[in-house]
């Protein structure tokens, strides 16, 4: 039987909200406006995934698919420092790929699939930051939404399969709608029903004062809808 592990976000409050952390064999999505901490959370997970955790979790390698060119090795160094880890070892354990368009993003998942097959059990976390950015650009026309959602659906079902077959956590970031006049609609994640249904756990992030951020859990299959506060620090996500 596969061991179902959970990865720490760096914040005890956020881990508790998630019932322990970001779960293996499922897709966790965070969404929210710019600077709310999606990329910082992704970076923190790159480090915590490499550390031993509860239930005999021994840590493992990470795959990072970067669509917005916001991956920062220097950030990883200061997060590694917080946890007293060797910064070069931490960087060596991250397989990094930059995606240039949505088709490339999809092709990268083929390579990821091969890699996970070749090095069974080595990788524990796959991050895509962000899932929709390239789709949004590639399918920007009015008549293209159907095609976009079709391709998105294919990608999400592949991610789900990958997470289950190789027992890894899939962590994706997402943006919110910015083309609506109503403030209510402007807090909605993009990607429509396809993404909503594909993500096992959805977390809405909002900005507070200074480094304070709020995380709200949405449509989790087995956890209460609640919200917590966390901080963005030089050592990554913290309480």
Considering beta carbons, is residue 196 or 211 the nearer one to ligand ATP?
211
Under the criterion CB under 6 A, does residue 11 sit at the interface with ligand ATP?
A: no
The Cα angle at residue 65 between residues 54 and 94, in degrees rounded to 5: 50
Pick the binder of Mg ion from 9, 39, 93, 175 (CB under 5 A).
39
User: Please, which of residues 204-233 interact with ligand ATP by CB under 6 A?
Assistant: 232-233
Confirm or reject binding of residue 234 to ligand ATP (CB under 6 A).
Answer: yes
172 binds, among ligand ATP, Mg ion, none (CB under 5 to 8 A by kind): none
Nearest C-alpha neighbor of 211 from the set 19, 11, 62, 8: 11
One character per residue 35-54, x = contact with ligand ATP (rule: CB under 6 A) = xxxxxx--------------
93 touching Mg ion, by CB under 5 A: no
Tokens standing for residue 126: 């796959």
100: contact with ligand ATP by CB under 6 A: no
- For ligand ATP, the closer CB: 60 or 236: 236
Report, in Å, the least distance between residue 27 CB and ligand ATP.
Answer: 18
Rounded distance between C-alpha atoms, residue 212 and residue 230, angstroms: 6
Contacts 24+ apart (CB under 8 A), 16-20: 16/228, 17/203, 17/215, 17/217, 17/223, 17/226, 17/227, 17/228, 18/201, 18/203, 18/217, 18/223, 19/220, 19/222, 19/223, 20/54
User: Which residues are CB-neighbours of 64 under 8 A, at least 6 positions away?
Assistant: 42, 46, 71, 94, 95, 96, 97, 127, 129
49 binds, among Mg ion, ligand ATP, none (CB under 5 to 8 A by kind): none
Which of Mg ion, ligand ATP, none does residue 40 bind to, with CB < 5 to 8 Å depending on kind?
ligand ATP
Nearer to ligand ATP, 75 or 151 (CB): 75
Q: With contacts defined by CB under 5 A, how many residues of the chain interact with Mg ion?
A: 3
Burial of 234 (0-12, 13-18, 19+ CB in 10 A): exposed
Q: Which residues bind Mg ion (CB under 5 A)?
A: 38-39, 70
Q: Which residues bind ligand ATP (CB under 6 A)?
A: 32, 34-40, 70, 232-234
């Amino acid at each position: 039987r596969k061991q179902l592990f959970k990865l720490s976000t760096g914040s005890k409050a956020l881990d508790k909200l998630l019932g322990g952390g970001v779960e293996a064999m499922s897709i966790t999505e965070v969404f929210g406006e710019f600077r709310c901490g999606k990329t910082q959370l992704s970076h923190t997970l790159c480090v915590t995934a490499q550390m031993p955790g509860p239930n005999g979790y021994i840590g493992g390698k990470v795959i990072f698919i970067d669509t917005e060119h916001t991956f920062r090795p220097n950030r990883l160094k200061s997060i590694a420092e917080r946890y007293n880890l060797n910064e070069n070892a931490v960087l060596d354990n991250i397989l990094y790929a930059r995606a240039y368009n949505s088709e490339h993003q999809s092709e990268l998942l083929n390579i990821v699939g091969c890699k996970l097959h070749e090095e069974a059990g080595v990788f524990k976390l796959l991050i895509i930051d962000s899932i929709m950015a390239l789709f949004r650009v590639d399918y920007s026309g009015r008549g293209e939404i159907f095609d976009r959602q079709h391709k998105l659906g294919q990608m999400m079902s592949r991610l789900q399969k990958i997470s289950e077959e190789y027992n890894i956590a899939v962590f994706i970031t997402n943006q919110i709608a910015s083309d609506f006049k109503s403030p209510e609609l402007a807090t909605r994640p993009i990607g429509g029903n396809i993404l909503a249904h594909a993500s096992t756990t959805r977390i809405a992030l909002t900005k507070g004062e200074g480094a304070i951020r709020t995380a709200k859990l949405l449509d989790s299959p087995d956890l209460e809808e609640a919200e917590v506060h966390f901080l963005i620090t030089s050592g990554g996500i913290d309480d």
